[in-house]
Amino acid sequence: MTLPLREVAHLEGLLKALTKPSLLVGDGEERRRLTINALCDLLDADAGHWSWGRGNPTTSTIAPLAFIDVGFTADQRVALFQHALHPETVRTFQGRLMPMLTERSPLGVTRRDVLADPEWLESTHWQDYVRLTGLDSWAHAIHYHSDDTWCCVHLVRHSGREEFGPEAARLLEQAVKNVGWLLVGAVESVPPETFTGLTPRRRTVMAMLLDGLSRKEIAGQLAISEETVGDHLTAIYEHFGVRTAGELAARFLRAS
C-alpha cells in the first residue's frame, strides 16, 4: 500500500515526537499526556484524551478506570463523562464499534464512520452533546487487550471546523497499536539513547518501512533511488542491531 504524502508526514511527525528525550524518560502519566498532545498537534485537534477501562457494551457496563486529557475545560470534561456513560451513547457509538472490532483490533474510526451526517444532525442526544461541549468532529481509536479490557485515544475539534478524515483514524490506530506506553500495563521506560544518531530522513524511511511499504514504494514517495533507500535501511538495521524489516518491527513495534 502506498501512503499519501500527508500520511507519511503524520507518521514521521509521530515518530519524531515519540523519540524526544523528555517523553521517553517521563513517568507513565506524563508520557501519555505528551503523546496525546503530539497527536493533537499532528492532526490539528483542539483537545484529546487517553483512557482505559473494563467492560464490553455487548456483555457488560463500560467502566473507565483512568482518564488523561489535553485541552478540555472542566465543564467539557464533566459533559464528556456524562455523555460517554449515557445508554444512547453506548447503543449508537460503543455498540457499533464492537462489530467492527470483530474484524481487527485495534480500530480507528471517525465520527462519520460510526454516525452518518443525517443521523448525527437529527439526533437530539448527539446535538445536545455538541451544544454542551462546543465539540463536533472527532477521531477515535480503541484497542481491546482482552474481552473486557480496553484503551482508547479520542481527539476532537470545535464545532464548525473541518471533519477529521480517514488518515486521522489510521494514525490513531497505529498509535494505540504500537506505542507501548499507551497500552494498559506497558513497560514505562525506553532508553532515550536508543534513537541517538538516527537522522530525520532515516526516521522517515523507518516509519514508511514499518507501515509496510517496499523499497520501490519508499523511493517513489521520497523521490530518491532504491539504492539510496537500501543505504538508509542498512544504516537503520545496524543502528538497531537487526538484519531484516521483520526483526526491526519486532524490536520497535508492539504486537497487536
CATH for 39: 3.30.450.80
The pLDDT of residue 187 is 32
Is there a single domain that holds both residue 230 and residue 252?
yes
Is there a single domain that holds both residue 176 and residue 75?
yes
Of 182, 203, 236, which closes a domain? 182
Of 182, 200, 231, which closes a domain? 182
Residue 118: which domain range?
A: 26-182
Give the model confidence (pLDDT) of 23-64 as tens digits.
Answer: 555 566 788 888 899 899 989 999 999 988 777 666 656 666
Whether the pLDDT of residue 2 is over 50: the answer is no
- Structural domain count, the chain: 2
Is there a single domain that holds both residue 30 and residue 122?
yes
The pLDDT of residue 20 is 63
Question: In this structure, what CATH number is given to the domain that contains residue 10?
Answer: 1.10.10.10
Is there a single domain that holds both residue 56 and residue 114?
yes
Is there a single domain that holds both residue 123 and residue 147?
yes
Of 138, 161, 182, which closes a domain? 182
Is there a single domain that holds both residue 220 and residue 127?
no
Is there a single domain that holds both residue 125 and residue 238?
no
Is there a single domain that holds both residue 53 and residue 102?
yes
Is there a single domain that holds both residue 37 and residue 160?
yes
Supply the DSSP string of 143-210, one letter for each residue: EESSSSEEEEEEEEEETTSPPP-HHHHHHHHHHHHH-GGGSTT------GGGGTT--HHHHHHHHHHH
Which region, left, alpha or beta, applies to residue 55 given φ > 0 means left and ψ of -120 to 50 means alpha? left
Give the model confidence (pLDDT) of 167-218 as tens digits.
Answer: 999 899 888 887 877 776 433 333 444 556 778 678 778 767 765 678 898 8
Is there a single domain that holds both residue 199 and residue 248?
yes
Give the model confidence (pLDDT) of 213-255 as tens digits.
Answer: 788 988 887 788 999 999 999 998 998 888 888 787 666 544 3
Is there a single domain that holds both residue 234 and residue 108?
no
Is there a single domain that holds both residue 199 and residue 131?
no
